[in-house]
Copies of this chain bind each other. A is one copy, B any other.
Amino acid sequence: MPLQLNEAELDAFMHEVFDQVADDFQVERVTETELTVRLRVQHRHLRPGGTVSGPSMFALADVSAYLMTLARIGPKALAVTTNCSIDFMRKPRAGVDLIAQTRLLKLGRALSVSDVLLYSEGQADPVARASLTYSLPPA
């Protein structure tokens, strides 16, 4: 199964189904097994001290695994997250965007599994890691 949606098509689909948050995210690069997404950090993503909040990091990991899956199965809004395990490892740097690097580890008939590393832009060490399972709608 080759790539079904490119960067622009993934962005357009996000605006169609998640219009209220789609401007927060920018799809930067997609291949058959990898995806890069940027969180354009706004004031509403922050905690006191200027660091990105846990729920904003979760949201970035979740949307990344969703778009990675749709890039392969096509624009099926009904894929739903069934599990996420996330480790918060370092405090994100204030004043910079977050970059999510996603790998698709499995694309089965019923489930996809991805893992995601989150970085403060320009930093070498990840701020968080997550793995996510999506349940896929029947063909």
Please name the residue on chain B nearest to A89 by beta carbon: B106
Does the CB pair B62–A55 fall under 8 Å? yes
Contact A55 B44 (CB under 8 A): no
Smallest beta-carbon distance A115→chain B, Å: 6
**Do A85 and B88 contact each other (CB < 8 Å), given the known contacts A55-B55, A55-B62?**
no
Task: Kindly report how many copies of this chain are found in the complex they form together.
Answer: 4
Instruction: Encode A98-132 as 1/0 by CB contact (under 8 A) with B.
Output: 00000001101011010101000000011001010
The answer to whether A75 has its CB under 8 Å from any CB of chain B is: no
- Specify which chain B residues have a CB less than 8 angstroms from the CB of A126 in the assembled complex: 105
Smallest Cβ distance from A68 to chain B, in angstroms? 15
A47 to chain B, nearest CB (A): 7
Report the Cα distance A81→B133, complex, angstroms. 13
Partner of A131, one of B85, B90, B110: B85
